[in-house]
Chains A and B, each alone.
Chain A
């Protein structure tokens, strides 16, 4: 629901690092998104095309690495993926803790010193509304 603001943050971080690297063109972004972070990939992608326009990251490809929500049972020590009733599938204890799934970060960017391609060339006539 707040993906526009989130996407603007991604752009800000990206451009800051691209500038540090010498104002290079950004071709790829590697994002880490936990299952519990309530961020929707498609929505970020949708806004990215708008917010990156005219910047050195215009048209950069977004790669999402999804991190599943993982729990550890404090009772028996089992580590498991999010279950429907949230309890441990091994011993049914509800004494558990979340160990992964809340991540939301930009891991890396890929930059190129080549000149950007003309946007007219990359337009895809096959993609209708």
Chain B
């Protein structure tokens, strides 16, 4: 005798529940959470260093770094002046809500205004795992090529802001900005974008203004 049982349950539903818990924890302490995602080498850590150095006197910043191994990124964030927690994912390709929850336990959130989560460098998996942060930001970079929105639609579709880093390399690389932007527009209409260079600091002010602005709102 065989019998069919209707389930209809999201496979990642448990992660989504835990993400909602993390969100409550952040709201209770008035902490604004940013989830930074990008491919390896796009400049996540450099952008975080710049953000800490420029906003560190007006916002108390903590950084949670997800990496498969090493604490290089957390060390860089700490050297720039933030409270830093390293999560070694031991091979996992993304951070999930459980890992962020553990990192939140390790932090005194009463000392934090802005929590920056540096996700594992990967353009696929992090898009599928909510963390409970308030906004998700994707960092693209010029050397990666202009076709990335077309190749990684899931990632470009799910974010609240897009940083286009390494614009100082535009003269040396065949990067068709119109083609790139058309792909972004199709996946995520009216997405706010910040073309900038962490090296020359060009365009950095708009990004910092945005971070300061969103950090000031939304805190429960």
Contacts and interface: CB of A to CB of B under 8 A. Distances in A.
B153 A36 contact: yes
Interface of B: 1-15, 92-94, 96, 122, 124-125, 127-128, 149-150, 153-154, 157, 182-183, 185-187, 189
Contacts of B1: 112-114
Interface of A: 1-2, 5-6, 9-10, 12-14, 17-18, 21, 24, 27, 31, 36-38, 69, 74, 82, 84-87, 94-98, 102, 104-114
B4 A9 contact: no
Contact of A2 (B9, B14, B93, B153): B93
A12 B187 contact: no
Nearest to B124: A38
- Interface-centre pick from A2, A18, A105, A107 (highest chain B CB count, 10 A): A2
Contact of A9 (B12, B149, B182): B12
Contacts of A84: 150
A45 to B, nearest CB: 14
Instruction: Give the top 3 A-B pairs by smallest Cβ distance, nearest first.
Output: A86-B186, A94-B186, A1-B93
A105 B7 CA distance: 9
B9 A106 contact: yes
Contact of A21 (B5, B12, B96): B5
Given A38-B124, A112-B2, A104 B153 contact: no
Given A9-B14, A112-B2, A86 B183 contact: yes
A64 B38 CA distance: 30
Contacts of A104: 10-12, 128
Contacts of B6: 107-108
Nearest to B154: A36
Contacts of A112: 1-3
Contacts of B150: 84-86
A43 to B, nearest CB: 12
A106 B93 CA distance: 23
- Interface-centre pick from B7, B13, B96 (highest chain A CB count, 10 A): B7
A13 B11 contact: yes
Contacts of B125: 1-2, 38
A98 B157 contact: yes
Given A96-B186, A110-B2, A111-B2, A86 B153 contact: yes
